[in-house]
Structure 1
Amino acid sequence: MSDDERATGFLDEPAELTESARALYAEDVDDVGYVMNLSRAWAHDADTLETLLGLSRTVAAGAGLTPRERGVLVLATTSTMGDAYCSLVWGGRLAGWASPDVSAALLTGRDDLLDPRERALATWARAVVSDPNGIQAADLDELRFAGYDDAQILAITCFVALRLAFATVNDSLGARPDAALRTTTPAVVVDAVTYGRPIAD
């Protein structure tokens, strides 16, 4: 089997798992019922993964983001960069917090099912991912009009950047979305993800 066909990506799974890697695998099994493909790559340094995701949770809390708002930011980020893995995982999550149609619309660049605060988040995430140097001071106005203060805007931007970093590592190392996502993610969400690495066989 070629590297391109391996669901777990281009890295070999560690021959021996550290305590942190075993904890990562156990958390996956508790959460989703199996060890995720991306976790097999991150098992080489599970502590760094926990630091990255922990920092992401910290800045999201600092911004006062609800789970639904975090979902909006993640989907706007991952669909803009073309990351299928997090789009499918978080598309399923946002489908539960909002609806499958909200997730599918956001993944295809439509914000008409979002409220004004969520639309501001989606617009900002896309700008941060696609052209951060093209952002002008006036581009922050939509966030401010939506009620976010400067400290929250910093935290929101950090959250987007951290999610971008996480997805970039997964995609660069060839991790394919888990096969189970075909059936655990609403079909309308799966159909909306027409980019990135294909779901594993």
Structure 2
Amino acid sequence: MIISTPPAETAQGHAADMYAEDIADAGFVFAYTRAMAVNPEAHEAFMALIRAIVPSIGVRVYEAATLGAARAIGSPHCLLAHGRKSLRAEVLSGDGLAAFARGDDDGFSAAEQAVVQYAAKLSTDPRGMSDTDTQALRDAGYDDRQIVDITLAAAARNYFSRALLALAVPTDEMPGLDPETAEALRAAAR
């Protein structure tokens, strides 16, 4: 990564908060946090968007959309980070996460699998999206607000993941993931 990121000792405001949160959680500052700390206002706006999305769909559906998009994009950062979050929130078990990395979505419910598939298509063929894709979410039981928020969750993951990939942000080791699962998630990003 060739951009200069704010040093921890001089970071202020939201950037300092970002660093402190990583240190409290993982014991170090992730490379993706350092990259986003270059524009802490943009990161804060991104987090406000996420806080506006999650209440209508819940953490499980948010993580299904996020992981589905991250796998489709090939984002090791987001697969690892949200794999870890999914384990912590008990969205997926360790075996379910490893299976997801290999393309098996059975750790998610049928309705959540519809979200994974929708997020993947949004991430790989957004111009090909049609009412048929939205209808699949409706058929899975999601209402209008939830469909919009699922779309926003997948689109937000595209924004964040693609920014990290474009900036060539290094991928850190992810504490809390066993080595086999972490490697499976990295392989899913290739």
Partners of 2:188 and 2:165 in 1: how far apart?
12
Aligned residue runs from structure 1 range 6-17, under 5 A: 9-14=1-6, 16-17=10-11
Using the size of structure 2 for normalisation, the TM-score is: 0.88
Partners of 2:94 and 2:166 in 1: how far apart?
28
| Contact 2:76–2:171 (CA under 8 A) maintained in structure 1 | yes
Alignment partner for residue 106 of structure 1, among 100, 103, 123?
100
One-letter code of the match for 1:184? Answer: G
| Contact 2:62–2:150 (CA under 8 A) maintained in structure 1 | no
Partners of 1:65 and 1:152 in 2: how far apart?
6
Shift of 1:189: 2.1
Alignment partner for residue 53 of structure 1, among 47, 50, 54?
47
| Contact 2:14–2:44 (CA under 8 A) maintained in structure 1 | no
Aligned residue runs from structure 1 range 151-166, under 5 A: 151-166=145-160
Shift of 1:187: 3.0
Deviations 1:156-194 (A, max 9, x none): 101111111011111111212223x1x521334213221
Deviations 1:71-112 (A, max 9, x none): 221111111000001101111222331201221222232223
| Contact 1:88–1:189 (CA under 8 A) maintained in structure 2 | no
Query: Superposition RMSD on alpha carbons, in Å?
Result: 1.9
| Contact 2:87–2:94 (CA under 8 A) maintained in structure 1 | yes
* Matching residue of 1:147: 141
| Contact 2:102–2:188 (CA under 8 A) maintained in structure 1 | no
Partners of 2:24 and 2:41 in 1: how far apart?
19
Deviates more, 1:164-173 or 1:184-193: 184-193
Partners of 1:144 and 1:76 in 2: how far apart?
18
Using the size of structure 1 for normalisation, the TM-score is: 0.84
Partners of 2:58 and 2:102 in 1: how far apart?
22
> Is 1:37 aligned to residue 31 of structure 2?
yes
Shift of 1:65: 2.2
Partners of 1:141 and 1:188 in 2: how far apart?
37
Deviations 1:144-167 (A, max 9, x none): 111101221111101111111011
> Is 1:95 aligned to residue 87 of structure 2?
yes
* Matching residue of 2:116: 122
Alignment partner for residue 168 of structure 2, among 157, 167, 174?
174
Alignment partner for residue 178 of structure 2, among 174, 186, 196?
186
Describe the shift of the 1:127–1:194 C-alpha distance in structure 2 as closer, same or farther (beyond 3 A): same
One-letter code of the match for 1:194? Answer: A
Q: Which runs of 5+ in 2 are unaligned?
A: none
